[in-house]
Copies of this chain bind each other. A is one copy, B any other.
Amino acid sequence: MLEVGGVQFGSRLFTGTGKFSSSELMEEALVASESELVTVALKRVDAHSQDDDILKHLKHPRIKLLPNTSGVRDAKEAVFAAQLAREALETDLLKLEIHPDPKYLMPDPIETLKATEELAKLGFKVFPYIHADPVLCKRLEDVGTAAVMPLGAPIGSNKGLATRDFLEIIIEQSSVPVIVDAGIGAPSHAAEAMEMGADAVLVNTAIAVSDNPVKMAEAFKLAVQAGRMAYEARLAARSQNAIASSPLTSFLD
């Protein structure tokens, strides 16, 4: 069973709340996904309002919230936002996102490391969204991160595991859970990440903007399970030559 930040998860599919056409559809899709960790932008929730729409639709016994700091520009803003999130949502879990560039939303390695260090000292379980940079991952471990969330491809690009070669190194070297975030645009991408040995994946856009988010959520659920099982059962090696699955002796001998 997966454990991150002291919390156990039965599902290795983490999800998000952005871009759904309605909160009702979001809720239905997240339930279908069987995801137990759902990230939500702090800006979108108002915990003090009885009528808060998104939060209302996320009140399920199995679902834990993972507030994210999307929109902050540096470590200082991130720490402030994290504290608001903890108070509002009563959780130490935090998805740290610091991406100053509004076009590609690539994360800032320097500010992310700095904020992770501060937040870990403040007792947060930090899930930092980062580029697939193996050395940065080790440094985040050194300052007490709960997990690392390297990107597969730019957020929302749906390109899959463009960082494949670096994810392999990260997975090999990491002593904290590796959660592939961003870029996963199809169940096959999620399965591939799991086959490589990622501990979990986070999927949002590909589910939310599908023609049928509920069905797509279920597809991702199955793909993540499939990829994990394949990892556990060990995939066969790739081979340069063909290897017959049927006997090669000439049929009519």
Interface residues, chain A, with chain B CB atoms under 8 Å away: 16, 18-19, 39, 41-44, 68-73, 77, 80-81, 97, 99-110, 113, 131, 133-136, 138-139, 153-159, 162-166, 169, 173, 185-189, 191-192, 195, 204-206, 208-213, 215-216, 218-223, 225-227, 229-230, 232-252
Number of copies: 4
Of B44, B154, B229, which one neighbours A241 at CB under 8 angstroms? Answer: B154
| Known pairs A72-B251, A157-B239 / 6 extra A-B pairs, C-beta < 8 Å | A70-B244, A106-B169, A109-B133, A187-B227, A188-B227, A223-B227
A240 to B247, CA, bound (A): 33
In contact, B226 and A210 (Cβ under 8 angstroms): no
A71 to B222, CA, bound (A): 37
A240 to B154, CA, bound (A): 9
Chain B nearest CB from A247 CB (Å) reads: 6
Residue numbers in B under 8 Å from A16 (CB-CB): 245-246
In contact, A211 and B223 (Cβ under 8 angstroms): no
In contact, B212 and A233 (Cβ under 8 angstroms): yes
In contact, A135 and B43 (Cβ under 8 angstroms): no
Nearest B-chain residue to A230, judged by Cβ: B219
A166 to B107, CA, bound (A): 12
Q: Can you show 11 pairs from A to B with CB atoms below 8 A apart?
A: A19-B245, A71-B246, A72-B251, A73-B251, A81-B251, A110-B139, A131-B133, A188-B226, A191-B223, A210-B233, A212-B234
A100 to B105, CA, bound (A): 28
Chain B nearest CB from A117 CB (Å) reads: 11
Of B220, B229, B239, which one neighbours A219 at CB under 8 angstroms? Answer: B229
Residue numbers in B under 8 Å from A19 (CB-CB): 245
Nearest B-chain residue to A158, judged by Cβ: B238
Chain B nearest CB from A31 CB (Å) reads: 16
In contact, A238 and B165 (Cβ under 8 angstroms): no
